[in-house]
């Protein structure tokens, strides 16, 4: 029995010694992996765009959603919009030049909520926000609350063409002829209707809106609705990044 017992003890001692030798290595490897992971997290934090912080902390996200692509209610999605247009609209809302019709739900102009917080940003920050938002991918199309039929889309295309909308907004609303004009493809149906109606009724007259009046004044309610149906179903692709 004794030789067997000694053999077992010897085997255990060798195993223990091997474990003792390998443990520091394992610990060292684990520490190295942890350090590498921490560096990656730190590097990622440093890469976060400071302009995104302005957007998050100045109340923009409350209405226009994460990265300007998940706006609530009938507020517009801003991601991927023309920089020059965004900047001018923010400045106009801040100065009071851009106004809107009354929202039935609140009894206030639709621009009031944004006008009330625009004192939180200065001109430089407005420029930074406009540039940042313009670089982001546009919002993905979401299923409409009410299905849009092929007939409605066809009617919208016809009205869009008849009124000459493509002269400023491009063939399908995806490419504006002037950077001061908005990209309107894929925008919310309700928002599009509100803006076209406000321009037709001379409620919104700031900036380039005056130029649109000559066209939109001829549009009837059903044409405006049809155009909004159509444009809200047109997907807008992300802009190609400059190398």
Q: How many CB atoms lie within 10 A of CB 175?
A: 14
- Residue 202 domain flag: yes
Same domain, 67 and 131: yes
- Residue 5 domain flag: no
Q: What is the pLDDT of residue 38?
A: 61
- Domain extent, residue 115, equals 46-138
CA triplet 189, 191, 194: central angle to 5 degrees? 110
**Cα–Cα distance, 67 to 55 (Å, whole number):** 8
CA dihedral 71, 45, 132, 116 (to 10 degrees): 50
CB 43 within 8 A of CB 35: no
Same domain, 230 and 160: yes
- Residue 7 domain flag: no
Q: What is the pLDDT of residue 52?
A: 97
Same domain, 91 and 130: yes
pLDDT per residue as tens, the chain (243 positions): 444 445 543 554 444 434 344 444 445 556 666 666 666 655 555 578 999 999 999 999 999 999 999 999 999 999 999 999 999 999 999 999 999 999 988 999 999 999 999 999 999 999 999 999 999 999 999 888 888 999 999 999 999 999 999 999 999 999 999 999 999 999 999 999 999 999 999 999 999 998 999 999 999 999 999 999 999 999 998 877 655
- Residue 191 domain flag: yes
CATH code where residue 94 lies: 1.10.760.10
């Amino acid at each position: 029995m004794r030789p067997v017992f000694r053999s077992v003890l010897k085997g255990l001692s060798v195993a223990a010694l091997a474990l003792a030798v390998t443990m520091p290595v394992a610990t060292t490897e684990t520490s190295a992996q942890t350090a590498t992971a921490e560096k990656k997290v730190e590097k990622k934090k440093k890469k976060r765009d400071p302009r995104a912080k302005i957007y998050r902390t100045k109340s923009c996200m409350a209405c226009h959603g994460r990265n300007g692509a998940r706006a609530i209610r009938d507020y517009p999605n801003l991601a991927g919009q023309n920089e020059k247009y965004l900047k001018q609209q923010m400045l106009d809302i801040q100065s009071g030049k851009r106004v809107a019709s009354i929202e039935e739900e609140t009894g206030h102009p639709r621009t009031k909520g944004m006008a009330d917080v625009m004192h939180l940003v200065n001109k430089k920050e407005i420029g930074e926000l406009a540039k940042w938002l313009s670089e982001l991918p546009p919002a993905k199309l979401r299923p409409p609350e009410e299905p849009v039929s092929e007939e409605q889309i066809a009617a919208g295309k016809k009205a869009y063409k008849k009124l000459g909308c493509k002269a400023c907004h491009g063939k399908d609303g995806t490419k504006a002829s002037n950077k001061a004009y908005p990209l309107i493809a894929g925008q919310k149906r309700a928002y599009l209707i509100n803006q076209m109606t406000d321009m037709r009724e001379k409620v919104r007259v700031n900036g380039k809106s005056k130029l649109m009046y000559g066209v939109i004044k001829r549009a009837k309610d059903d044409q405006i609705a049809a155009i909004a149906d159509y444009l809200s179903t047109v997907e807008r692709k992300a802009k190609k990044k400059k190398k």
